[in-house]
Amino acid sequence: MTNLRSLPSVEQMLQTEAAAYLIARFGRPLTLDAIRFVLDDTRARFRSGLMPDPPSTELILAQTESQLTAWTKSTLLPVINASGVILHTNLGRAPLSDATLRAMDILSRGYSTLEFDIESGKRGSRLIHTESLLGKLTGAEAALVVNNCASAVLLILSALANKKRVVISRSQLVEIGGGFRVPDVMKQSGAKLVEVGTTNKVRLSDYKTAAAEPTALIMRVHRSNFKLVGFTEEPELKDIVEAAYAAGVPVVDDLGSGALYDTAKYGLAHEPTVQESMRAGADIICFSGDKLLGGPQAGIIIGRADLISKIKKHPLARAVRADKACLAGLSATLLHYLKDEAEREVPIVKMMSLTLKQIKGRAEAWAAELGQGQIVEGESTVGGGSLPGESMPTFLLSLQVKSAEKFLRALRKNNPPIIARTENDKVLLDPRTVLPEQEGALLVGLKNLLKKA
């Protein structure tokens, strides 16, 4: 115990020049916590025999700095996506356009007219800021933006179908990422689930029979992340709408991905668009802002004014409402579509519209800069639960290294982390998903790691 008495006190540590530096960098309360933590750990290790002699004051302060750095290190980091997955859910889905980022930055830096009416000088509504844009783009009577599409579904069902029947095909009782299950959401909203059809087949007559009883909604859910193939049957949305209209039942169409353009234009399968759902006559449509739309995370609800009005007034609407940064960013993204400039300005649309010549040229430039690597044909995917099973031809930079898995780990530890993939023990990097402004950092990181490989 005599040796332990030689340890400096917390107060003595705080008087040192090194501690003053830590306090200036990390603040006094956190520095104080770190010093106590290191001293307690030192005593525990000394008593257990893991430490023959107590450390010096300088070493304790060095350990304190390491502890403070570990405590304050951010786990949310920008990465370079060279995986070829455009809407990579684990990497934050859609990167945002410059105009979207500027709008979010400007609105976040100061005060705004989020809920203030300039004309009257009185309280306004945050619900109006994207409504007119969505109306012009889709023809919808009204719109509402919430924090994501999952909450949009929950809000719609809670507002329009609590303790009432909601008809849905068994083939659409899906689970999407994060354990979001349609049947569970219906239960949470208080709606009474009415399943029709079978797992692989549902007929129009199934909907008609179910809607013959008092029913609040007929719901169609887009199977975002898988395909149903083989011996299957499913009526068109317009036919479901006609049957529902005859029964006096509104139709909700959960589109998920939120495409405002035809994905077939880029060599992919056709993804149902918001405009098509509107033309088919769906009463309420909901979709994501950060998937094929290419904007910030949001859940967008459009449709009949009377139904949207009920949804806006539901208490849950406040709990899931979008914030000022989201509304500013979404408005800027929607403007790209209104101005017919999405292919030029929205990053994910730009990625899909890249020609093979452009992609191959970038891959060849990378190989030339690195002085190694082969250019091989490959496939990019959309991701984000959109267009399952679909891919786009691309060109990849293929690197031969001693251990592909070890090199991938080294790439992930780079600053910034680089996310790639492997195939046949080779490291593959897809130019399609690497933002142009990140190319310099990508090549610097690759050069440094290839020297060590």
Mean pLDDT of 333-341: 97
pLDDT for 188: 84
pLDDT for 179: 64
pLDDT for 273: 93
The percentage of residues in the chain with a pLDDT greater than 90, rounded to a whole number, is: 76
Does the pLDDT at position 52 exceed 80?
no
396-431 residue pLDDT tens: 999 999 999 999 999 999 999 999 999 999 999 999
- Nearest CA-CA partner of 177 in 384, 337, 368: 384
Instruction: Please give the single-letter amino acid code of residue 365.
Output: A
* DSSP collapsed to 3 states, the chain: CCHHHHCCCHHHHHCCHHHHHHHHHHCHHHHHHHHHHHHHHHHHHHHCCCCCCCCCHHHHHHHHHHHHHHHHCCCCCCCEECCCEEECHHHCCCCCCHHHHHHHHHHHHCCCCCCECCCCCCECCHHHCCHHHHHHHHCCCEEEEECCHHHHHHHHHHHHHCCCEEEEEHHHCCEEHHHEEHHHHHHHHCCEEEEECCCCECCHHHHHHHHCCCCCEEEEECCCCCCCCCCCECCCHHHHHHHHHHHCCCEEEEEECCECCCHHHHCCCCCCEHHHHHHHCCCEEEEECCCCCCCCCCEEEEECHHHHHHHHHCHHHHHCECCHHHHHHHHHHHHHHHCCCHHHHCHHHHHHHCCHHHHHHHHHHHHHHHCCCEEEEEEEEEECCECCCCCEEEEEEEEECCCHHHHHHHHHHCCCCEECEEECCEEEECHHHCCHHHHHHHHHHHHHHHHHC
161-192 residue pLDDT tens: 999 999 998 887 776 666 677 778 888 888 89
pLDDT for 178: 61
Say which residue, 80 or 183, is predicted with more confidence: 80
Does the pLDDT at position 79 exceed 90?
yes
Mean pLDDT of 54-73: 92
Does the pLDDT at position 389 exceed 90?
no
Q: How sure is the predictor about 228, in pLDDT bands with cuts at 50, 70 and 90?
A: low
- Domains within the chain, CATH numbers bracketed: 3-72 (no CATH), 80-87+348-452 (3.90.1150.110), 98-343 (3.40.640.10)
pLDDT for 305: 97
Other residues' Cβ atoms within 10 Å of the Cβ of residue 257: 23
Mean per-residue pLDDT of the chain:
91
pLDDT for 1: 45
Say which residue, 188 or 354, is predicted with more confidence: 354
pTM: 0.90
Mean pLDDT of 353-361: 97
- Environment class of 91 (CB within 10 Å of its CB; exposed 0-12, middle 13-18, buried 19+): middle
Mean pLDDT of 257-269: 90
| Angle at 450 (CA atoms; ends 442, 420), nearest 5 degrees | 50
Mean pLDDT of 195-206: 86
pLDDT for 200: 82
Does the pLDDT at position 445 exceed 80?
yes
User: Is-contact 388 225, C-beta < 8 A?
Assistant: yes
